[in-house]
Amino acid sequence: MFYGTVFFSKLNINVLFLYLSIRHFYYGEVTIKILSQKSYKDYNRSDVRCLGDDFFQEPPKLLPSGKNKQSAFLILKTALGITTESEKLIITPVQEIVIKPNLLLHIVQKRNDAREKYANFIIPTLINPFEVYNTEYEDGFRNQYIGLFKGTSNILVVIKTSSDGNLFWNMMHTDKRIINKHRVGELIYYTK
C-alpha cells in the first residue's frame, strides 16, 4: 500500500477505488496480476487525480464499526441486503455477480481495519462503475470495477469468478494513489 495526499488546484477530491481482483487472498493463497497489460493511458483515459468533480459520485454514508467480529459481520450483511441464508444478485453493466454470505466473514476478521464501515460503497460501485477492466492474472482473467466517489474513503473490492458463479469475497479500504496502477487490462466498460 502507498500512503500520501493528492492536492488539486481548487479541488480537494478524494477517490473511492473499488475494483475486482487485484490479488486473490483466500486461505493464504495469493494470485498476482500479469504485468505487461495495457493501461488506462493506452486507452487515452485521464489520470483519476486530474478529473473534475463531475466524474465523482456522492459518497454513501459510512457505517459504524462493529464491536466484535459478529457485530461487524451483521453490519456488513445488512448493508449488502443479505441474511445468513440468502444470496444477493447484483446486475452490473458487464455481468451478474452473486454475493454469498458464507464468503464474507473474513472481510471483518482484522478488527483494526473495521472494513464493514465501507460496505455501503460496494453495490453503488458495482452498479455504476467509472471503469471496468478485464485483467489477466496468473490463474486467469478477472474483472476490476473502479468506482469514484467524493470524500475521503477509498475502497478495494475483490471478486473471484468460480465454476458456481461470481462470488463477492473481499473488501478493504486503500489509498487513492494506487488507483491508476490498477487500471490495467482490456477496458470493457467506461463512463464519460
126 lies in some domain: yes
2 lies in some domain: no
The pLDDT tens digits of the residues spanning 62-108 come to: 999 999 999 999 999 999 999 878 888 999 999 888 888 887 888 88
50 lies in some domain: yes
What secondary structure letter does DSSP report for 68?
A: S
The answer to whether residue 23 scores a pLDDT higher than 50 is no
14 lies in some domain: no
Q: Which pLDDT score is estimated for 59?
A: 87
Q: What's the average model confidence in pLDDT over 28-49?
A: 84
The pLDDT tens digits of the residues spanning 135-152 come to: 888 877 888 888 888 876
Q: What is the largest CA-CA distance in the chain?
A: 49
What is the residue range of 174's domain?
40-190
**Measuring CA to CA, which residue among 125, 1, 10 is closest to residue 56?**
125
21 lies in some domain: no
160 lies in some domain: yes
Q: pLDDT averaged over the chain? A: 76
Give the pTM.
Answer: 0.76
Q: Which pLDDT score is estimated for 6?
A: 30
What secondary structure letter does DSSP report for 64?
A: P
CA angle 81, 160, 147 (to 5 degrees): 65
Question: Which range has the worst mean pLDDT, 28-32, 143-147, 151-155, 169-173?
Answer: 28-32
17 lies in some domain: no
5 lies in some domain: no
The answer to whether residue 18 scores a pLDDT higher than 60 is no
Answer whether 115's CB lies under 8 Å from 108's CB: yes
Q: Which pLDDT score is estimated for 4?
A: 31
Q: Which pLDDT score is estimated for 172?
A: 60
Q: How many domains does the chain have?
A: 1
